[in-house]
Structure 1
């Protein structure tokens, strides 16, 4: 059984939702027979590479005065899941991080890189925006830093794969992330409770064998 997860690396709901999905998968009796594939989705594809701002400034510009407190509210939810969460983060283009994830999939460490990127951004407040920062995280995830740098320094490397994922998300009706698709038949949208993911896994498993 295959689970595809569309997410963005600066999306706090993806950080929380994928954690909850992992908890459900850990309790699923057929977990060893489940393949998890991470797909690309940019929340802000128009953002220029290298252009960063604080998450507070971004949310305030988008939502007005309430934006200044929104991230703190999400932080409490994340910490309730046992996740580290800093509110003094910066946001920027995630295109390069997504290109690197496609390379990581070929190397068999995609999920590990996703976890490292989430931890760096949310728990540590480390920048994900720039070649040097991404190479450091890539190395921690088990990628060859020279090869990772080569991917990042070629703006066309894995670009088609990222765009293909984003086009597929649109075709599947995803208008936000996280978005989970099981065997291209069952969809779960958002950071749902662990029980919802567990039920979806069980339903899909039974359906595939009926």
Structure 2
């Protein structure tokens, strides 16, 4: 048989597990059926295989030749994720819940006003960069109150509570640290 490179060999049939494979174990060479070794679990990490991570990193493209539109469904999924869900706060009091951290737009509609409480991390663990938007959709006084240990950093200072400036005022809060929220929008000190 003449020497040939693997790319010069004829295409083979699919493997069935009975093929003999040369293996080296403990410094000894032997042959074993592919089916006997294919199911052996591996419990090593990528870092344990010399040069594997570098080889994989070398395969990563520096520039992707596709756009968002080329990836089926991605543009629609991103658009849906960026649309704030509008919800009504009809009662006189409301305490933020973890579900409010998923891009919510809250409208306070109680004619007598509404007291909205931002709870401490010990009660509700919002992620840093969570943003919640509120609108005073009533002539009643709408107030934002800090729960125990919470700081609301409002324009002109920080404090425990503030009022929405007027009916129709829109206010956003963004979590910027442990028990710390920046307040953006039309507010006044309470």
Interval of TM-score (by shorter of Structure 1 and Structure 2): under 0.3
Which structure has the highest helix share of the two? 1
TM-score computed with the length of structure 1 as normaliser: 0.18
Return the index of the structure with the highest Cα Rg. 2
The TM-score with structure 2 as length reference comes to 0.19
Higher relative contact order (CA 8 A, sep 6+): 1
Which has more strand, going by share of residues?
2
